[in-house]
Amino acid sequence: MAQQRTFSIIKPDATRRNLTGAINAKIEASGLRIIAQKRIHMTEDQAGSFYAVHKERPFYGELVEFMTSGPVVVQVLEGEDAVAAYRGVMGATNPADADEGTIRKEFAESIEANSVHGSDSLENAEIEIKHFFTEDEIVG
Ligand code: ATP
Ligand code: MG
């Protein structure tokens, strides 16, 4: 497997509980490197377009409200097979289904307030990274 980059968000439920460092520790313990990071407050437009694939789902409005309810930390992670590796570190969408030791098992509050986002494909990772970072902000 090759070196890849993936996109991560530490969500508002986690920043509110001061868990940025604890989540970063899990990311780094897995061998992934945080090669870009910034704390932002997403606008409704940003959150709405980021989750546009879920526009028809019943939870879309609440999801946008949640993602704009406080600061988030957007990140670029780099490492071996990073897209799948980070999905593994995150755990299942619903923390009730997440494996022991994963970020969501340990920290998520609910299926919505589940502490982190990670890209679901290499193609989406590239799109999402470009959306939030310029090349000179990414230092590998
Ligand atoms: P993410 O895209 O944030 O990494 P994911 O890929 O595990 O999460 P998706 O199916 O893409 O899961 O859902 C995107 C986000 O929408 C979830 O992380 C969660 O915050 C929210 N969500 C998903 N399903 C539900 C649901 N049934 N009810 C409420 N919120 C949900
Ligand atoms: Mg997803």
Cα→Cα distances 25→44, 67, 89, 131, Å: 29, 22, 11, 25
Could you read off the pLDDT of 9-38 as tens digits, one per residue?
999 999 999 999 999 999 999 999 999 999
CA 127 – CA 124 distance, rounded (Å): 5
User: Roughly what angle, to the nearest 10 degrees, separates helices 122-132 and 82-90?
Assistant: 80
Tell whether the torsion through CA atoms of 76, 80, 84 and 89 is positive or negative: negative
Rounded to 5°, the CA angle 23-71-80 comes to 35
pLDDT at 1 exceeding the cut of 80: no
Sorting pLDDT into bands at 50, 70 and 90, what band is 50? very high
**Total-model pTM:** 0.98
| Residue identifier of the C-alpha nearest atom 29 of ligand 1 | 112
Please give the pLDDT value at position 42. Answer: 98
Could you read off the pLDDT of 59-109 as tens digits, one per residue?
999 999 999 999 999 999 999 999 999 999 999 999 999 999 999 999 999
The closest-lying atom of ligand 1 relative to the alpha carbon of residue 53 is 11
